[in-house]
Amino acid sequence: MPLPDFLIAGVPKAGTTALHAALVRHPGLFLPAVKEPKFFLSDGRPPVSGGPGDVQTYQEHVWRRADYEALFDPAPVGALRGEATPFYLYDLEAHDRIRTLVPDAKLILLLRDPVDRAHSNWTHLWNAGLEPEADFLTACRAEGQRRADGWADFWHYVSLGLYGRQVQHLYKLFPREQVLLLRYRDLKDTPAATLDRVCDFLGVPAGQLKEIPRENVNRHVVEDNAINRVLRGLLRTGGQFGHRFPVPLRLAARGPILTLLHRKHGTRPVTTPEERAALLPLFADDIALLQDVTGESYDDWMSVDRHAKAS
């Protein structure tokens, strides 16, 4: 029964897709074509309702064990098997499920400045036409109500960035030598050295991966104007077709709508000092906890005017 030897377990919008794209090129590693199977996020069938776009995402979960194991069937003999689901760190119950099924799995975590991570998360959903709030801080303040309404984890802009409590819980279940803690800026600024660290951690030959593929770069800029509000409304509601058309047809309509929404290209916005000043107090205690738990310094995350730096 093939199961993963390692997991890229966190965090969203911190380079996990880029790391996945790089590691699939290593001959000693196997990662399935399905990124983010999300197997350990539930004990059975995932929810059937949620926020904008959540139902479609839930339908993509690989939640049956036989289907999950089948993802690793094509792995070459001797290759280490792994997968990337960046929500595993956030979901504390997933920690227990991983420990129960694959207690010896090695866990790779990529952490990013929590304010910048939250902003990138909001930008991702805004560009996808799913985020209804045009203002980043307003969207963050809506998190409590969205959680109460059952919106999926990807909408938890602030809570996803509380790494201290998440890593602390993980370390109670897994020995520290089984966990590799990286930073987003490491992967961005020194990709070859960071990939060598990953290979050394996994026990496969280093020096074979030199760069991060550029396939995940998104340069779409979605303005808040009348035309785009209509397009975004169509995406959030699944199209104004109601249920008169089958799901595959409604999903097929997303492509042309997104093409129209993404018709403008440019530089993606960065977090402003004002936004950082508003959100940093929400993360300060947790950053201190993360430093205590890991013994590493994250003091640079506490700066208000650092939007031009990598994180």
Domain ranges of the chain: 6-219+267-299, 226-262
> 281 pLDDT exceeds 90?
yes
Taking the C-alpha atoms of residue 52 and residue 69, their distance in angstroms, rounded to an integer, is 30
| CB contact at 8 A, 15 and 116 | no
> 251 pLDDT exceeds 70?
no
| CB contact at 8 A, 19 and 87 | no
Taking the C-alpha atoms of residue 83 and residue 187, their distance in angstroms, rounded to an integer, is 18
pLDDT at 240: 39
pLDDT at 67: 97
Taking the C-alpha atoms of residue 151 and residue 146, their distance in angstroms, rounded to an integer, is 5
pLDDT at 184: 96
Average pLDDT over the chain reads 88
For tokens 């991060």, what's the residue?
A: 212
pLDDT band at 306 (very low <50, low <70, confident <90, very high): low
pLDDT at 239: 42
pLDDT at 242: 44
pLDDT for 34-84, tens place per residue? 999 999 999 999 999 999 989 889 999 999 999 999 999 999 999 999 999
Q: Work out the average pLDDT over 232-244.
A: 51
Report how far apart, in Å, the C-alpha atoms of 16 and of each of 71, 133, 146, 243, 261 are. Answer: 19, 26, 25, 35, 25
Record the pTM: 0.85
pLDDT for 80-114, tens place per residue? 999 999 999 999 999 999 999 999 999 999 999 99
pLDDT at 216: 54
Q: What percent of the chain has pLDDT over 90?
A: 76
Q: Work out the average pLDDT over 147-176.
A: 98
pLDDT at 244: 44
pLDDT for 115-156, tens place per residue? 999 999 999 999 888 999 999 999 999 999 999 999 999 999
> 210 pLDDT exceeds 50?
yes
pLDDT band at 247 (very low <50, low <70, confident <90, very high): very low
The number of residues making up the chain comes to: 311
Task: Using alpha carbons, select from 132, 203, 168 the residue that is nearest to residue 287.
Answer: 168
Q: Work out the average pLDDT over 270-284.
A: 95
pLDDT at 270: 83
Report how far apart, in Å, the C-alpha atoms of 162 and of each of 107, 117, 121, 228, 295 are. Answer: 18, 11, 14, 33, 16
Class of domain 6-219+267-299: alpha beta
pLDDT band at 1 (very low <50, low <70, confident <90, very high): confident
